[in-house]
Amino acid sequence: MDDALRPIRFPVELERALEHIRLLAHRRHGYLVDRRSTRRAMRRAAIAPDLVWNVVARLSPADFHEGPRPDHHCLHREVWIFCPMVNGRVMYLKIAFRRAPEGPESALVIGSFHQPRFPLQRGDP
């Protein structure tokens, strides 16, 4: 089975994915999807876009919620869900990897960054 399609094995592969996420966030290699819910949540919590990148660069296994799971916006990628504390609030953070068109390196797609809309229920990885 192709490594890209192989299911994640925890906790080693979660930490490997987090290392890649943190590296890309540190480089600011990717983008924050411009959604109304994200803009509103960032205004409410007084969070600047730079802080979002800093939060992503500091994610830990303790922030993990679920994933990877299929992305309903793009059938060819998977999303990871994290729920870190930011300024005293739990935030719902959805991250995907996208291959950069100019080369083999991937980029981060931060699809959601807002307070959870529903009570979160953590499943066993």
Domain ranges of the chain: 31-114
Q: What is the pLDDT of residue 103?
A: 58
Question: What is the C-alpha to C-alpha distance for residues 23 and 18, in angstroms, rounded to an integer?
Answer: 8
Stronger pLDDT, 44 or 81, i.e. the higher one: 81
pLDDT band at 122 (very low <50, low <70, confident <90, very high): low
Q: Is the pLDDT of residue 102 over 70?
A: no
Q: What is the pLDDT of residue 125?
A: 36
Q: What is the mean pLDDT of residues 24-28?
A: 92
Q: At what angle do helices 12-27 and 49-57 cross, to 10 degrees?
A: 150
Domain 31-114 has CATH 3.30.2310.40: yes
Question: What is the C-alpha to C-alpha distance for residues 32 and 41, in angstroms, rounded to an integer?
Answer: 13
| Terminal-to-terminal C-alpha distance of the chain | 21
Closest of 66, 89, 90 to residue 78, by C-alpha: 66
pLDDT band at 1 (very low <50, low <70, confident <90, very high): very low
Look up residue 44 and give its amino acid: R
User: Residue 24: how many CA atoms within 13 Å on its side-chain side?
Assistant: 23
What percentage of residues in the chain have a pLDDT greater than 90? Answer: 27
How many CB atoms within 10 Å of residue 42? 19
Stronger pLDDT, 11 or 88, i.e. the higher one: 88
Q: What is the pLDDT of residue 47?
A: 80
Backbone angles phi, psi at 8, to 5 degrees: -70, 135
